[in-house]
A = this chain, B = another copy of it.
């Protein structure tokens, strides 16, 4: 925090918060959640590219004008919530730190930097203590999987995960969501699809996640699930084979997860563990054939889990299958970032390592 502490009328400390990428899909949900959760905001500074600067946004009944994101945008800011893309974060996060702020970065820019903690508060909040100005928010597919896998991992180490994702178009941003909507109308009207934001038709179609495929044949999104899970679990030996797929769902990612444990873990025990796990809600009504669905996960904080069953392909009792849906924009992005900020406040870690002249 800066030296001049703001307090509300009860004496609670208030924080000056900047949002980078305030007009994006994640930025919009950040604003909703900051209001909903009553984060102690002093000044709110909304920042975006020159293209979006000047636009007006409502927040708690007040109109805020979006400012252009520049190197000198961070004076007197305590906390930056960044979700404007990796290259933007790489450029501006150092400026924010120099100005005395702490950056919670939602992009992939710093996630695998060994000096930057990568945190899901339900998993590894203790890693926040090591921050040097930046805390990275994991990839959405990783968060949604790991918030469910971690409590089971604590019972018995998970040796291997086979995971297939069903990723909503929200993961590609607000304009991709608009494209899914307009393209779906066009296809229903018998016109051909003309993808612009996405490389392939999204309406009534699905395709392998359109990040670059690396030498081993896995795309970047898949490798994020592998590497980020290892970093957060502090387990470089956990083995994961993901297949990431985009589906014509507006919001909330789903995942079919097959887990191999070191020890025997029974379905009923897994169910008990998940029932008690923070950030997780069991939706597993076999009678009614009602399991996690993206339309029900959308707008929810908890990640939904169901289809909890012993893996019939294993005779040794060390396998569990699960099906998960979680709001990609909430727990998969904005909510986790704000939970990190709340945890920083709680642990008195919301201060940059070097106080600068201006603060």
Contact = CB atoms under 8 A, between A and B. Distances in A.
Q: List the number of copies, as a whole number.
A: 2
Contact of A206 (B201, B210, B247): B247
A212 to B, nearest CB: 7
A319 B310 CA distance: 22
Interface stretch (A20-28, A90-98, A288-296): A288-296
Given A164-B256, A188-B185, A243 B323 contact: yes
A293 B205 contact: yes
A320 to B, nearest CB: 10
Contact of A216 (B188, B205, B291, B309): B309
Given A188-B185, A208-B306, A208-B323, A218 B254 contact: no
A164 to B, nearest CB: 4
- Contact size range, A: 35 or more
Contacts of A289: 199, 208, 210, 212-213, 219
A226 interface: yes
Given A162-B258, A188-B184, A241 B208 contact: no
Given A185-B188, A208-B292, A241-B312, 7 more contacts: A199-B289, A204-B248, A205-B294, A207-B291, A217-B309, A247-B248, A248-B249
